[in-house]
């Protein structure tokens, strides 16, 4: 499950940007926006109020979008392009997420983990967004240290991060309600949805976040990924990015042969079984697979003896080599890989592997405005949600007043008892 909120933080350099050249390489204040660096510059502007942040070194994204619009930039297109960047980045991460989740939580029931991630995006002068980095553990600090050295709260950080953490906890416990919808988007995403730019101007409940570029990953017990919570994917941007999701088919084949209970890599013996079961032996000379595997392993793991096996990206590189041998006339690597994956899936089905273990499953919700994507459908339960996925009902806690040794009434909390089944 992926959630993207609709506001965020914008950081500015403390010195005017100059085109990089040898004479100014050392002037990091003009080239990096990191708070940890710029807070030491006397030009750094700390905001003491929301009015101050209009000219501060940290500003709310909604503020900066308004300032950009006044300068003639197309903020609606910029916001659209930013969301496309995030969708494509998430799709690139899915294979590793699936494999790591299988490795860490194989056979475990119930939601196991979630993660808050930060996307750093730099915007060029013409309004083109570029992904700078993805932070797996973005700072959740809400304090700053002015020149006098006294720690105090940052109004911008507080406006963003407190609702973010609160909403994350509400979300993973099933308590966060969706914002009210102003329209019912079509399957092609032609109508505006709750993640549209207009949401910046909408009044919202106090407990709802005003954050963006923070991604909340929740991998549920069904090993499912649900990417349509705010119409980011597949409903809103399915036509633009869904073609990139085909790599998950390589993950299913990888999982068929790798022993994820022991390792996240696929061994040489498992690679031999993969080549044999998929009918690819004729494309290798004797001993060539082992040598090729060792070369790829050395590139990804530094192990020249191939004792560690191939990680998924090494396996994907092996697939690309095989696809070029099968389809030398195919100029598109993507199409060649898709053809090879079709061949492998067909061969495995003929050997008795269930189709459900070789593909994802897309399920329309009752409302028809969103779609769930089960990345590992063999683990999904379609007859009803597991109790572990149900929202947590509020539990009434009994508070009794009892007299202490000084005859003062003291509150004693009586926690609900735990029933053993």
Can you say whether residue 384 is alpha, beta or left, with left for phi > 0 and alpha for psi between -120 and 50 degrees? left
Mark which of 353, 380, 413 sits at the end of a domain.
Answer: 353
Helix H, strand E, coil C: the string for 158-188 is HHHHHHHHHHHHHHHCCCCCCCCCCCCCCCC
Decide if 188 contacts 239 (C-beta within 8 A).
yes
Indicate whether 124 belongs to any domain: yes
| pLDDT score, position 39 | 87
369 compared with 206, residue with greater pLDDT: 369
Do 210 and 334 share a domain, yes or no? Answer: no
Distance from C-alpha of 276 to C-alpha of 123, rounded to nearest angstrom: 49
Q: Which residue has the tokens 């699936």?
A: 98
Do 44 and 190 share a domain, yes or no? Answer: yes
Indicate whether 159 belongs to any domain: yes
| pLDDT score, position 414 | 43
131 compared with 237, residue with greater pLDDT: 131
Do 100 and 218 share a domain, yes or no? Answer: yes
Mark which of 200, 216, 236 sits at the end of a domain.
Answer: 236
Do 209 and 266 share a domain, yes or no? Answer: no
Q: DSSP letter for 119, please.
A: E
Burial environment of residue 113 by CB neighbours within 10 A (0 to 12, 13 to 18, 19 or more): middle
Mark which of 325, 353, 381 sits at the end of a domain.
Answer: 353
pLDDT, tens digit, for every residue of 160-198?
888 888 888 887 887 766 554 444 444 344 444 444 566
Indicate whether 272 belongs to any domain: yes
Indicate whether 335 belongs to any domain: yes
For residue 299, give its domain range. 246-353
Q: Mean pLDDT across the stretch 373-387?
A: 50
Do 208 and 341 share a domain, yes or no? Answer: no
How many degrees, rounded to 5, is the angle at CA 316 between CA 315 and CA 318?
A: 65
Do 79 and 218 share a domain, yes or no? Answer: yes
| Helix, strand, coil shares, percent, the chain, to 5 | 40, 15, 45
Quote the number of domains for the chain: 2
**Residues 6+ positions from 232 with CB-CB distance below 8 Å:** 2, 4, 83, 86, 87, 195
Indicate whether 376 belongs to any domain: no
Question: Residue 210 in 3-state DSSP?
Answer: coil
pLDDT reading at 360 higher than 60: yes
Do 150 and 230 share a domain, yes or no? Answer: yes
Supply the pTM of this predicted model: 0.73
pLDDT reading at 368 higher than 70: no
pLDDT reading at 421 higher than 70: no
Q: DSSP letter for 270, please.
A: H
Do 180 and 136 share a domain, yes or no? Answer: yes
Give the DSSP per-residue string, 374-401.
ESSGGG---SS--GGGSPPPP---EEEE
Do 155 and 10 share a domain, yes or no? Answer: yes
Do 253 and 232 share a domain, yes or no? Answer: no
* Selection from 208, 148, 191, 182 nearest residue 3 by Cα: 208
**Residues 6+ positions from 282 with CB-CB distance below 8 Å:** none
Length of the chain, in residues: 421
Please provide the average confidence, as pLDDT, over all residues in the chain.
76
Indicate whether 172 belongs to any domain: yes
Do 230 and 250 share a domain, yes or no? Answer: no
Decide if 240 contacts 84 (C-beta within 8 A).
yes
pLDDT reading at 221 higher than 50: no
Indicate whether 368 belongs to any domain: no
Do 108 and 196 share a domain, yes or no? Answer: yes
Indicate whether 107 belongs to any domain: yes
């Amino acid at each position: 499950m992926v959630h993207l909120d609709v506001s965020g933080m914008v950081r500015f350099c403390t010195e005017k940007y100059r085109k990089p050249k040898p004479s100014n390489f050392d002037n990091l204040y003009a080239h990096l926006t990191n708070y940890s660096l710029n807070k030491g510059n006397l030009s750094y502007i700390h905001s003491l109020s929301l009015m101050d942040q209009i000219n501060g070194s940290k500003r709310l994204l909604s503020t900066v979008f308004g300032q950009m619009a006044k300068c003639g930039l197309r903020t609606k297109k910029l916001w659209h392009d930013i969301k496309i960047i995030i969708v494509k980045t998430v799709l690139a991460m899915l294979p590793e997420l699936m494999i790591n989740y299988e490795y860490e939580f194989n056979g475990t029931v119930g939601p196991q983990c979630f993660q808050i991630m930060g996307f750093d995006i730099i915007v060029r002068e013409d309004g083109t967004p570029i992904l700078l980095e993805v932070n797996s553990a973005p700072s959740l600090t809400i304090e700053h240290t002015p020149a006098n050295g006294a720690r105090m709260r940052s109004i911008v950080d507080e406006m963003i991060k407190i609702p973010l953490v609160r909403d994350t906890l509400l979300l993973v416990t099933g308590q966060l309600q969706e914002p009210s919808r102003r329209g019912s988007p079509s399957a092609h995403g032609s109508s505006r949805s709750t993640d549209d730019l207009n949401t910046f101007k909408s009044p919202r409940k106090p407990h709802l976040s005003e954050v963006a570029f923070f991604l909340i990953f929740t991998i549920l017990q069904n090993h499912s990924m649900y990417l349509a919570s705010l119409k980011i994917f597949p409903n809103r941007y399915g036509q633009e990015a869904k073609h990139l999701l085909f790599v998950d088919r390589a993950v299913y084949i990888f999982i068929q042969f790798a022993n994820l209970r022991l390792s996240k890599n696929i061994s040489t013996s498992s690679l031999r079984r993969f080549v044999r079961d998929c009918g690819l032996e004729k494309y290798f000379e004797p001993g060539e697979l082992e040598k090729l595997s060792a070369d790829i392993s050395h590139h990804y793991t530094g192990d020249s003896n191939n004792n560690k096996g191939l990680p998924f990206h090494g396996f994907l590189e092996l697939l690309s080599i095989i696809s070029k041998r099968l389809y030398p006339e195919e100029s598109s690597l993507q199409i060649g890989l898709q053809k090879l994956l079709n061949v492998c899936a067909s061969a495995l089905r003929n050997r008795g592997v269930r189709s459900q273990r070789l593909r994802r499953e897309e399920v329309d919700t009752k409302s028809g405005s969103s779609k769930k994507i089960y990345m590992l459908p063999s683990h999904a339960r379609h007859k009803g949600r597991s109790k572990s996925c149900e929202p947590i009902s509020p539990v009434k806690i009994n508070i009794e007043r009892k007299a202490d040794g000084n005859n003062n009434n003291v509150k004693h909390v009586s926690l609900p008892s735990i029933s053993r089944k």
